[in-house]
Structures are given as C-alpha cells and as structure tokens.
Amino acid sequence: TRRQITDLKKENFNLKLRIYFLEERMQQKFDGPTEEIYKINIELKVEIESLKRDLQQREKLLIKASKAVESLAQGGDAEIQHVKEEAQKKMQEMEENLTSRIKFLEENLKAAQEDVEKAIAITEKEKALRIAAEQKLSSIMNAPAKDVDMITGAEKDRLIEQLNLSLKSKEAIIQHLEEEKSQSGSYDGDLSAEKIRELTIALRHEKDSEIEAIRMELKNERNSFEKKVQSLQEELQERENELAVEKKNGLKRDKTIQGLTVALKAKEKENEELGSEIEDLNASLAKAREATHKAHIQKFKGAEDYQALLMEKETLLAELRSENLTKDAENRKLQRRIKRTDQELNDLNLEREKMEKELDEAQLQKSRSDKTINDLRNQLEKLHGEMTEKEKAVEHHYNILLSESNQKLQSQELVIKQLTDNVNQKDLLLQVEAEYEKLILALRKEQNIYSTLVKTFKESDSINSLQTELNNIFMLRKQLEDDILANRNLQKVLEDQIKDIKNRQDETLSFCGDQTSYMSICLGEQDRLSLQIDHLSLEELKKKVLIFFLLFTVSNGLILWLAEKVL
C-alpha cells in the first residue's frame, strides 16, 4: 500500500509537471487567438453528447421492446385463460338451466303421479266403506227377530250411542258433500266447452313458446361463442402483426449497432494512428536532442558559450518536456476515450445479446401461444360438437314432452266431451237427490212423531213393558237413517261411474226412474201413515212401524242392487 501511495504521488507530481509544461507550450504555440482549441473542444463535447443521446434512445427502445414482449406474453395468456373461464362458465350455466328444467318437469310428473295415487286410494277407501255398509245391511236384514229380542238393555243402549255418533258423523259428511256439490255445480256451470278449448289452445301456445325461447337462447349463445372466437382470431392477427413490427425494429437496431461498431473501429484506427504519431514524435525528439547536444558541444567550447548553450538547451528541454506532457495527456485522453468506446461497445453487444435472447423467448412464447390457440380451437370445436349434441338431445326431449302433452290434451278433450255429454244426466241425478232429501225430511218428521210417542209412553203406566220395544224401534230407525246416508254417499260414487260408462246410460236412467217412483210411493205411504197415527192404538202402531220398516228395507235393497249393477 505504501509503495502504491508513493507511486501515485510520483505520478501526480509528474502529471502536474506535464500539465505545467503543456500549458506553457500551448501558450507559446498559440499566443494568438484560441478559436481552434475551443472549436476542437466544442466538437468533442458535441460528439460525446450525441453518443450519450444515442445510447439513451437505444436503452429506451430496448426497455420498450422488453415491456412489449412481456405484455404480449402476459396479455395473451391472461386473455386465453379469461376466454376459457367464460366458456366454462357459460357451459355450466347452460347445464344448470337444463338440469333445473328437467328437475321441474320431473317434479311435475311426480306430483301428477301422487295425485293419481291419492285418487286411487280415495276410490279404494270408498269401495271399502261401501262393502262394509253392504255387509252391515245384509247382516241386519238376515238377522232373525228372535236374536233381536234377545239383546239386553245395556247392549241396546251401547248400540244407540254408537248409532247416534255415526248419525252425527254422517250428517257432517252430508254437509261436506253438499258444499262440494254446490262448488262443483257452480264450477261445472261456469266451465263451458269453449273455455276448455281456449285453455287447451293456451297450454299448447305456452309450450310452443317455451320451446321456441329455448331454441332462441341456444342460437344466441352459439352466435356469441362464434363472435368471441372471431374476436380472438382478430386479436391473434394483431399480435402477430405487432411481433412482425418488433422483428423489423430489431433488425433496424442490429443495423444501428453494426454502424456503431464500424464507427468504433474507425475511432480505434484513429487512436492507433495518433499513438504511432506520438511514438514518431518521441523518436524524433530524442534524435533532435542528441543532434542538438552534439552540435552545441562542437560549436560552443567556451565556458560562456557553454552557459548560453546550456540555457538554450534547458529551454529546449523544457519545451520538449511540455510537448511530451501534452502528447502524453492527449494520449491518455485518447486511451480513456478508447476505453469508454470499448465499454460502450461491450454494453451494446450485451444489449444486442439480450435483444436476441428476448427475441428467441418471444418466438418461443409465440409458438406456445400458437399451441394454446390451437388447443383452444380444438376445445371450441369440441364445445360446438357437444352443444349441437345437447341441442339435439334437448329438442328430442322437448319433442317427446310435446307429444306426451298433446296426448294428454287429447285425453282431456275426450274427458271434457264426456263431461259435456253427461250434463243432462247430472240434472236427472239432482232430481233423484231432491227426492232423497224429501225422504230424509219425512224420516225426521217421523222421528219427531216417535219422540212424542215415547213421551206419551213414559207418562203411561206401561212404560216398563214397552221400553224395550221402543228402543228396538228407535235403533232400527237410526239404522235406517244411517243406511239412507250411506245410500247418498253411494250416489256420489254412482255419478262418477256414470260419467265413464256411456253404454249403460239408458239402463241406469230407467233404474233411477223406477227407484224414484218407488220412493215416491214410499213417501206417500209415509204421509198416509203419519195422518192416521193419531187414531191408532199401541198394537196397531207397532204393526204400522214394522210394515214401514220392511218397505224401507226393501227399497234400500233395490238401491244396493242398482249400485251393484252399475259397478
């Protein structure tokens, strides 16, 4: 380190001497105007600034090119990924919409099946109730009079309570059926054949509109996919054009770099020439020194002359030293400039290598992007194929649903025609129902008469002997009312069965007419009995009650036989 410091100090001293002598030499050489020196200095500064600007511009161009390449790579990958995600999202949305619609249709089918099963269960329950009522009636009709007389008083009370409860339940059922009948009558009255046809036509139009809307949605989605593919192709074309422009710019930069290398080589040649000139000058200087030394020694042999000669020699040496220092300074400046130009050349070469690497990477990225684009095109073609297959499947599915709905509509139209044909039959059934209501009112009047008879029997002395017979009559009376209510429930079943059977309409109407005539005869007999009841004795009253009961059981049997024939 100390040696280096001493060497540096010596070099510094020598440099100062050289600078001093060079300044003196410059002053001696250019005692006049110094315009040439300033011009040279200004030209050198201008060259330096121009070179700096060229370097800055090239650095900016390189930065822009690298940024453009990075943006192309990143933008292409991001846009491709975005397009993939959008395509996947739309496919998922289409699949979800189709699955939701299929689920909705399946739920509707399940609901319809459940309604059908419920209707079947209700019909089976009604059949079971009808069979149980028939069995009860047959057991009551087949039971002998002796068995009835052998029933104890406690059992009779229990039976009376059960019959009262069943009567209340049957009355509630009758009321509910009357309400339903009124609602169904109003609905049947309001619903006409034209409205039904309009509803069927509206249903068809709605289904056709839904199918058309689905087709339009599929077409719109297909068009959107095609537009996106076209836009991607246009973007790819733009990117390819940009890459071509970048390649052209790269070639231009290579040319400029080559020009700079040529200029640097020229500068190096100039520096070499200057160095050779400096060496020649140094050699000539040494020769001149030797020649002058020899000449002065030969010419001036005296002391005085020798001193003058020494002074001249010293001045010449000082001049030569100053010239040497100036040449050395110029040489060092030129060497520094050469080093700078070499460094700049190396930097430019490195930048060129970077640009070549970036171009290679850009070409690789382009090849990768081309591969990804080809993959995307293949995926889009696959998606188009899948979409067409799904469209065909959906169209086939909706055509099947449309055919099924048309079949259902045709069956509904047939049922509607049957309903419109059976409106007249409903009027006849309503007349029969009115006669049944008259019969129920007559039976209630009879019940009031029996209650008054029971009160009169309670007031008499023979209440204990007649209590059992009156209980039997009351029990039979309750059973009769229950049977009438059961027959009324059977009337509802008969209405439903008559709607489906057209071939037996005349037969059922004749049976209903006979039945109504027979019931009117029974009612007339009942009115006649109610008028004569005040004039009868107790024994005659018993006989009349038994006759009435027998007549009513016979009529009930005829009703059951009619129901069996219809069913």
Q: What is the dihedral of CA 195, 200, 205, 211, to 10 degrees?
A: 160
Task: Look up residue 211 and give its two tokens.
Answer: 């199918």
Token pair 């246009």 in the structure block, residue: 234
pLDDT value of residue 85: 74
- Does CATH place domain 33-100+215-408 in 1.10.3470? no
> Phi/psi zone of residue 302: left (φ > 0), alpha (ψ -120 to 50 degrees), beta?
beta
Q: Cβ distance 83 to 376 under 8 Å?
A: yes
| Rounded Cα–Cα distance for residues 127 and 494 (Å) | 12
pLDDT value of residue 498: 62
- 494's enclosing H/E stretch is helix 463-500
DSSP code, position 143:
S
DSSP code, position 159:
H
DSSP code, position 535:
G
| Rounded Cα–Cα distance for residues 323 and 338 (Å) | 22
| Rounded Cα–Cα distance for residues 175 and 209 (Å) | 45
| Rounded Cα–Cα distance for residues 198 and 538 (Å) | 67
Q: Cβ distance 21 to 325 under 8 Å?
A: yes
All structural domains of the chain with their residue ranges: 33-100+215-408, 152-190+422-566
* CA atoms within a 13 Å half-sphere pointing along the CA-CB vector of 546: 8
Instruction: Give the phi and the psi of residue 155 in degrees, each rounded to 5.
Output: -65, -35
How many C-beta neighbours within 10 Å does residue 362 have?
22
Nearest CA among 538, 530, 535, 540 for reference residue 456? 538
| Rounded Cα–Cα distance for residues 288 and 549 (Å) | 175
| Rounded Cα–Cα distance for residues 294 and 177 (Å) | 158
pLDDT value of residue 473: 57
| Rounded Cα–Cα distance for residues 478 and 557 (Å) | 17
Q: Reduced to 3 states, what is the DSSP secondary structure of residue 199?
A: helix
CA 369 to chain centre: 30
Q: Cβ distance 403 to 486 under 8 Å?
A: no
The parts of the chain modelled with pLDDT lower than 50 are: 144-152, 184-192, 300, 303, 454, 457-466, 505, 507-538, 554, 558-560, 562-563, 565-567
How far is residue 127 from each of residues 481, 484, 493, 501, 564, measured CA to CA in Å? 20, 17, 9, 18, 11
For the chain, give the number of residues: 567
Task: Look up residue 435 and give its two tokens.
Answer: 């006669």
The pTM of the full predicted model, rounded to 2 decimals, is 0.23
Q: Cβ distance 402 to 475 under 8 Å?
A: no
| Rounded Cα–Cα distance for residues 487 and 480 (Å) | 10
- How does DSSP assign 367-427, residue by residue? HHHHHHHHHHHHHHHHHHHHHHHHHHHHHHHHHHHHHHHHHHHHHHHHHHHHHHHTHHHHH
Q: Cβ distance 416 to 196 under 8 Å?
A: yes
Task: Look up residue 169 and give its two tokens.
Answer: 């339940």
User: Judging by beta carbons within 10 Å of its beta carbon (0-12, 13-18, 19+), is residue 355 exposed, middle or buried?
Assistant: buried
Q: Cβ distance 499 to 418 under 8 Å?
A: yes
| Helix (H), strand (E) counts: the chain | 10, 0
